[in-house]
Structure 1
Amino acid sequence: LPLRPRPDAAAAVAKDPRLLCAKVDKTLAPKVVGLIGIGLLRPDIARIVSLDPYRFRSRAIVSKLHYYLPLIGSVDNLLRMLKRESGLLSTNLDKVVKPNVVFLRECGLGACDI
């Protein structure tokens, strides 16, 4: 039987054709392994790639999602948040996000409020 392209893969390539030029062993596979290591399943990873394929190629995607996942509370919440605001993956964690989270916590907000 011939392989049929998955809709999420087709959507990711349509948004970012440069995914086809990325080196599997140096760019794509290490990110997939890292994301599986923080508890994401392959379907979750596919959804993230289809939401923001440009950022999936970035070096910091694993560390950013590793930070966001416990903050946001669940993979489903993370995916909903990324769907609404994919800019989270391009925002500098150390200079912007982490100081903002600290400030919001100092204002009395908990993780579920943030």
Structure 2
Amino acid sequence: MKSIGAGIAAVLIVSLLTFGYFSIREQGVRDTFHGVLVEGRPLNSTNAVVLTDTNCIPDQTNTKLTCIAIIDANGEVLKVKYTHPIEVPCLARGDKVNISMNSHSSVEIVRLGAPSMEH
């Protein structure tokens, strides 16, 4: 009986955290992703567009995904490898993003609207 109660408690906690995440995001908080530039010229860009998001691989604990986003930044095609919590929807084709280069290859991507896909 203890394991059933623990399982129910775990489901409730995950449900509340997920609900809280989506409630906060709907109030204007934008998804921010951090990664490294693996292809393309380092640049800052506003209103870039995600062309595709590929190779999303979960970590060993199934809490994070590592993906490769291909982004059109005003005609410059960038390939960015990034990691994010599994409950945050991946970037998807058509997502509008802002890109900031933090160092030589460190990239911050901010999704400008609601995700176009959910997990």
Normalising by structure 1, we get a TM-score of: 0.26
Which is richer in helix? 1
Larger radius of gyration: 2
Q: Which has the larger strand fraction?
A: 2
